[in-house]
Copies of this chain bind each other. A is one copy, B any other.
Amino acid sequence: MGKIVYSPIGIIRSPFKTVEGAPIQPVGARGARGAIELRREFLAGLKDLDGFSHIILIYHFNLSEGYALEVKPFLDDRLRGVFATRAPKRPNPIGISVVKLIGIEGIFLHIEDVDIVDGTPLLDIKPYVPQFDSIETELIGWLSGRVQAVEQFKADERFK
């Protein structure tokens, strides 16, 4: 299987200048404002996006160096398979976050509930559609009983 090459479509701006202290999920980043600075060549792709209250950001964890197949996630102190976690050090360090879209001004998208480190390269934007993306399920494995803590939890140096 060959390599897959992407180019960032823009940069994510946020109040979090380092991994340490950043929220570990948007639910832990309520109210945190940020912005997307889109590359000007992609401006026409934003048409109609302002009708959506939430958008999915797909981005590259550019601060992750290497990966491990078993990791101690922020919400646990046992080793878990990396694909059973949302840890940033992954074979392909791709992150996804659902954020609130506040408004669009030219190439700038103002966003809220941003759990992403400032300067992160953005790969894609998709509209969040509850009918596609919101699934009723309660089987959340090792995260059972732990997800509430995510609202208080901040990242440490674990995944640099």
Chain B residue numbers with a CB within 8 Å of A135 are 54, 98, 128, 130, 133-134
A22 to B60, alpha carbons, bound, how many Å? 29
Judge whether A81 is part of the interface by a CB distance below 8 angstroms.
yes
Q: Find out whether the CB atom of B98 lies under 8 angstroms from the CB atom of A127.
A: no
Q: Find out whether the CB atom of A133 lies under 8 angstroms from the CB atom of B136.
A: no
Quick one: closest B residue to A59, CB to CB?
B4
Quick one: closest B residue to A10, CB to CB?
B1
Judge whether A49 is part of the interface by a CB distance below 8 angstroms.
yes
Total count of chain A residues near the partner, CB < 8 A: 72
Q: Find out whether the CB atom of B131 lies under 8 angstroms from the CB atom of A147.
A: yes
Q: Find out whether the CB atom of B4 lies under 8 angstroms from the CB atom of A121.
A: yes
Q: How far is the CB of A61 from chain B (nearest CB, A)?
A: 10
Q: Find out whether the CB atom of A96 lies under 8 angstroms from the CB atom of B98.
A: no
Q: Find out whether the CB atom of B7 lies under 8 angstroms from the CB atom of A140.
A: no
Q: Could you mark each residue 115-147 of chain A with 1 if its beta carbon is under 8 Å from any beta carbon of chain B, else 0?
A: 000000101111111111111111111111001
Chain B residue numbers with a CB within 8 Å of A11 are 1
A135 to B100, alpha carbons, bound, how many Å? 10
Chain B residue numbers with a CB within 8 Å of A85 are 126-127
Max count, chain B CB within 10 A of own CB: residue among A26, A133, A144, A148: A133
The contact sample of 22 A-B pairs, CB cut-off 8 A, is A1-B11, A6-B92, A7-B91, A7-B92, A25-B132, A43-B69, A44-B69, A46-B81, A46-B83, A46-B84, A47-B69, A50-B141, A51-B84, A51-B141, A52-B84, A85-B126, A96-B126, A127-B143, A128-B135, A130-B140, A131-B150, A133-B134
